[in-house]
Amino acid sequence: MHTGRIVFAQFLDLVPVHEFHRCVRRYRGNFHCRRLTCYDQYLCLAFAQLTGRESLRDIETCLRAMRKKLYHAGLRGSVARSTLADANEKRDWRIWQDFAQVLIGQARRLYANDSFDVELAQTAYAFDSTTIDLCLKLFPWAHFRRAKGAVKLHTLMDLRASIPCFVLVTHGKISDVASLDALVLEPAAFYVFDRGYTDFERLYRFTLSAAFFVTRAKRGLDFRCVKSRRVDKSTGLRCDQTIRLLGPLSSRRHPGLLRRIVYVDAETGKRFIFLTNNFTLDALTVAQLYHARWRIELFFKWIKQHLHIKAFYGTSENAVKTQVWVAITVYVLVAILKKELRLDRSLGDILQILDVAFFERMPILQALSQPATDLPQPASQKQPSLFDI
């Protein structure tokens, strides 16, 4: 019988503590701290994300019930909800953002050699946003509509690793296309987004930065065909053209040439028109690259289903951003765990098994290798996953 460390403590071995404390010192997170350190705060919030705690009172009750076991995971004292609420309110959310970037860099190195649906040597990113509705009376800073509040998560995802690389949390009124200004463009990389981001002045910045974009064209695009290339219509392609914009505004905002590709999906019969500033990639690969954009939609569905980001433990902007970034660190840690242990399970399955085996004294690989039905079940189970990622 294994009498060693609990599964939660072994999971926390993935946390680079030295880098964590470096992020804390950067923003003086433990300045005048008497009881709850930044690391204690992170353990509490990570525990809440992994086990689906609904409120600060729920977190406090569960932590007190498991006080002796949590001591071995690194949480040295009891946690009061008022203390945790104050920490979420006052401690700089950039601590968790910088720590998430450390984990993201580690995860991207682990997944760097993985293949995805498109044969592409360069890095490919998908950029999109998701909206989380809020009560305007509780979150007055998150103004969205007349009687409604919301926050948006503008996310840049590495398509090869399915890892979010950049997240911008804003109130709901910030337009999607304006969030493109926050991106630091990587030369030779591909950026894929839907037609809601079609702003030719901003798209021209990609060309000037030697980066490539793939998007869908809006209706009524005024252009002139400069060159047309042959396509294999059996693959779904209909045309591959080099075009120049003719609109009085669009031609001034994007004076360079563009590539226009028309593709028809054989299953649905739907017609897609893509625009890109890359003229060397195979036309079918461009269509496949846009199709891979749906990975970011799956990511949004996954975090909303498995992590606690649709309701928040605090109402301030700092508390909301803290919770979002902690949730992202948990997602990335689970992805790192899957890769390092070479697990043939979906991230949703891993999260569910961690939930039921959290305080079991067994090797974490053993816990994640056996069926979840062989583990002790909690009093209330989460809703089963609707998809795998």
Could you give the C-alpha distances from 359 to 4, 38, 239, 356, in angstroms and in order?
11, 22, 58, 8
> Which residues make beta-bridge pairs with 167?
155
CA 359, CA 27: separation in Å to the nearest integer? Answer: 32
Q: Which fold has domain 194-285?
A: Ribosomal Protein S8; Chain: A, domain 1 (3.30.1370)
38-51 vs 81-90: helix crossing angle, rounded to 10: 110
Q: pLDDT by residue for the chain (389 residues), tens digit each? A: 446 788 888 999 999 999 999 999 999 889 887 788 999 999 999 999 988 888 999 998 988 887 777 777 777 667 889 999 999 999 999 999 999 999 999 999 999 888 877 888 889 999 999 999 999 889 999 988 888 899 999 999 999 888 999 999 998 889 999 999 999 999 999 999 999 999 999 999 999 999 999 999 999 999 999 999 999 999 999 999 999 999 999 999 999 999 999 999 988 899 999 999 999 999 999 999 999 999 999 999 999 999 999 889 999 999 999 999 999 999 999 999 999 999 988 888 998 888 888 888 889 999 898 765 555 554 444 444 333 44
Tokens of 321: 């951003």
**C-beta neighbour count of 57 within 10 angstroms:** 11
Q: Write down the domain spans for the chain.
A: 7-96+314-374, 194-285
Reported pTM: 0.88
- Which residue carries 């004294």 as its tokens? 361
| Residue 80 contacts residue 60 (beta carbons within 8 Å) | yes
From first CA to last CA, the distance across the chain in angstroms is 33
Torsion of CA 251, 256, 257, 262, to 10 degrees: -60
Tokens of 31: 């300045």
CA 289, CA 280: separation in Å to the nearest integer? Answer: 14
